[in-house]
A and B are shown apart, each in its own frame.
Chain A
Amino acid sequence: MNHISELHLDALTEIFSIGAGRAALSLSEIVGDEVRISVPSVQIINTEDINPASLSLTCDGRFGAVSQRFSGPFTAEAVLLFTEEQALKIVSDMMDSKMSYEELAEFEHEAMCELGNIILNACLSSMADILKFTLESSLPCYTVASADKILKRLKKNPNQPYIMILHIDLAIEKRHTAGNLVFLLSTDSLSNLVIHIKQFLGNIHE
């Protein structure tokens, strides 16, 4: 844990905000309106230390999670989390139709997959571009679950002791939504990530 510094985290924030800009561009093309996505902060913690607060999960309510597994110089599982209610609102905004939430639920699954896919791919591709490596990824998969279940799932895998959390701020038209993008990382993956960040930073040191 102590081999990742504030500067490294700042570089990651920088990389992911470029990704966020790309995602916003793709989304605005679909929505036909301005979309803003920003990544205010990136955090890396031990998986065992995650709690509902670190992911802004509330005990009540259900969450929509879009996940993709990717591999390359480092292997990780990326999960994008929104509350189910927010997820439905985002999708309904994006669909610009007058469908009720009940009707929307039918399309939610696939549309959320796409929304998550756009954000995840944008973050992954900006990382690949800037840190100069290539990644492969599975297709996205969408699940709805309680906070409890999500935490259990995140903590389940002993091979991924680190978790990188990106807080994401998404604004489509007038609606503001916050979500979290979570990367589950193995020790090796984190070390590799740090090596690539150091290369990116070049000659500057703290």
Chain B
Amino acid sequence: MSEIGIKHFDMNDIFNTLSLGLIAVDSNGKVLLWNDWVAKHSNVKEADALNQKLEQAFSEAVSPAFLTALNNTLIYRLPVVLSTALHRTPLPLYNASETNQQQTRMYQSITITPIRSQLNEPCGLIQVTDSSTSIKREKMLRSHSEILKKEATTDCLTDICNRRFFDAHYELAVADAKRQKHCLSIFMVDIDFFKAYNDYYGHIAGDNVIRQVAEALKSQLSRATDIVARYGGEEFALVMPYLSQKVAEQFAEKLRSAVSNLAIPHIKSAPFHQITISIGVCTGIPENGDNLLDRADSALYRAKQKGRNQFISIPLCETEEYLKQ
């Protein structure tokens, strides 16, 4: 500190204004300096701490690792770092909350450096910073990014996968099936006469139907490899590997009956008077240029054409003639 600095300030004012903890000890570990920050967070007044051995100055035990570190600094005159990661709360310091119900122990970062007193006696200076805030921020950012990640891939109405996730997953699933030469099935699902339902029962009821159908479809899946996504307004898509065409057809029927069993009344659905779905499914081992999704979509179109509340299943490598039968 320069002459000018000393003239202008009382050093104690500066120590006590700092927003970090300062403790100085002599070579026997007796407290020589205990700033306001330390007093506030330890609930031990400066007057009670001065001239005490450091481990006795606090009202609770100090961690052994801290005492070892302090001792090393006092003996070897080498500076020491105690990280938050490895020590968490070496000193009994608390986050002072004005309303204080439950005080929590403060996460700390500590450095201990050898210094000399004006009489040239070897001493140690302990600096404590509160790392709780950086840890809290870290945790918050982390959980926030997890929420964002979930939001980015989940449909907010139905809580199943969204279109974006489906597109990415579909691409990966196709690439996988191509490489390993295994079967992949794509199911396109559409709620029958949904526009009429919405017009008659209202949007809120409509949203409710979408939610229930999504739930019914999802409940049919049990393998980790399978996904169901909301593809568009009242359209859903499923990606399922390793099914033969016959098994895929059985599964499509399971989906159809699961929704039918919901027995949601729909008086504007002329033949059925309840909510039903149509399904197009395409199964095959994809090769270059094959488009399972388009094929499943045209199968869905066929199912609609043929009267709804049913599935149409086609293999990937059939010709257009098959569709025209």
Binding site for B on A (CB under 8 A): 26, 29-30, 70, 91, 94-95, 103, 106-108, 110-111, 113-114, 117, 121, 124-125, 128, 134-140
Chain B residues lying within 8 Å of A138, measured Cβ to Cβ, are 79
Chain A residues lying within 8 Å of B80, measured Cβ to Cβ, are 117, 121
How long is the Cα–Cα vector from A164 to B68 in the complex, in angstroms?
A: 28
How long is the Cα–Cα vector from A125 to B77 in the complex, in angstroms?
A: 9
Beyond the given pairs A26-B72, A134-B77, 5 more chain A to chain B contacts, judged by CB atoms under 8 angstroms and listed by A's residue number, are: A108-B85, A117-B80, A121-B78, A125-B76, A140-B81
Is there contact, CB below 8 Å, between A111 and B76? no
Among B76, B84, B113, contact of A107 (Cβ-Cβ < 8 Å) = B84
How long is the Cα–Cα vector from A138 to B78 in the complex, in angstroms?
A: 8
Chain B residues lying within 8 Å of A111, measured Cβ to Cβ, are 83, 85-86
How long is the Cα–Cα vector from A158 to B83 in the complex, in angstroms?
A: 34
Q: Can you list 14 pairs linking A and B with CB atoms under 8 Å apart?
A: A29-B64, A30-B86, A107-B83, A111-B85, A113-B83, A114-B82, A117-B81, A121-B72, A135-B77, A136-B78, A137-B79, A139-B79, A139-B81, A140-B81
Chain A residues lying within 8 Å of B75, measured Cβ to Cβ, are 125
B323 proximal to A (CB < 8 A): no
CB distance from B83 to the nearest CB of A (A): 4
A29-B64, A30-B87, A114-B82 known; A136 vs B77 contact (CB < 8 Å): yes
Is there contact, CB below 8 Å, between B65 and A135? no
How long is the Cα–Cα vector from A108 to B84 in the complex, in angstroms?
A: 10
- Tell me the interface secondary structure of chain B in the complex: helix
Interface extent on B, as a size class?
A: 20 to 34
Is there contact, CB below 8 Å, between B78 and A135? yes
CB distance from A4 to the nearest CB of B (A): 25
Among B65, B78, B111, contact of A30 (Cβ-Cβ < 8 Å) = B65
Chain A residues lying within 8 Å of B77, measured Cβ to Cβ, are 134-136
Q: Which of B74-102 contact A (CB under 8 A)?
A: 75-87
B203 proximal to A (CB < 8 A): no
CB distance from A19 to the nearest CB of B (A): 11
Is there contact, CB below 8 Å, between A29 and B109? no
How long is the Cα–Cα vector from A113 to B84 in the complex, in angstroms?
A: 11
Among A114, A128, A140, contact of B86 (Cβ-Cβ < 8 Å) = A114
Most chain A CB inside 10 Å of its own CB: which residue of B64, B82, B87, B113: B82
B273 proximal to A (CB < 8 A): no
How long is the Cα–Cα vector from A114 to B69 in the complex, in angstroms?
A: 11
How long is the Cα–Cα vector from A134 to B72 in the complex, in angstroms?
A: 13
Binding site for A on B (CB under 8 A): 64-65, 68-69, 72, 75-87, 109, 111, 113-114, 138, 142
How long is the Cα–Cα vector from A184 to B237 in the complex, in angstroms?
A: 65
How long is the Cα–Cα vector from A70 to B76 in the complex, in angstroms?
A: 13
Query: Nearest CB to that of A100 among chain B residues?
Result: B142
Query: Nearest CB to that of A108 among chain B residues?
Result: B85
Is there contact, CB below 8 Å, between A137 and B78? yes
CB distance from B131 to the nearest CB of A (A): 8
Chain A residues lying within 8 Å of B114, measured Cβ to Cβ, are 136
Chain B residues lying within 8 Å of A70, measured Cβ to Cβ, are 78
Chain A residues lying within 8 Å of B86, measured Cβ to Cβ, are 30, 94-95, 111, 114
CB distance from A31 to the nearest CB of B (A): 8
Is there contact, CB below 8 Å, between A110 and B65? no
Is there contact, CB below 8 Å, between A29 and B76? no
Chain A residues lying within 8 Å of B111, measured Cβ to Cβ, are 139
Is there contact, CB below 8 Å, between A113 and B81? yes
Closest 4 CB pairs of A and B: A107-B85, A111-B85, A110-B83, A125-B76
Chain A residues lying within 8 Å of B78, measured Cβ to Cβ, are 70, 121, 124-125, 135-137
How long is the Cα–Cα vector from A48 to B49 in the complex, in angstroms?
A: 54
Chain A residues lying within 8 Å of B85, measured Cβ to Cβ, are 91, 94-95, 107-108, 110-111, 114
Chain A residues lying within 8 Å of B65, measured Cβ to Cβ, are 26, 29-30
Is there contact, CB below 8 Å, between B142 and A26? no
How long is the Cα–Cα vector from A82 to B77 in the complex, in angstroms?
A: 26
A106-B138, A121-B76, A139-B113 known; A114 vs B68 contact (CB < 8 Å): no
How long is the Cα–Cα vector from A141 to B259 in the complex, in angstroms?
A: 64
How long is the Cα–Cα vector from A146 to B83 in the complex, in angstroms?
A: 25
Chain B residues lying within 8 Å of A94, measured Cβ to Cβ, are 85-86
Chain B residues lying within 8 Å of A95, measured Cβ to Cβ, are 85-86
How long is the Cα–Cα vector from A197 to B111 in the complex, in angstroms?
A: 32
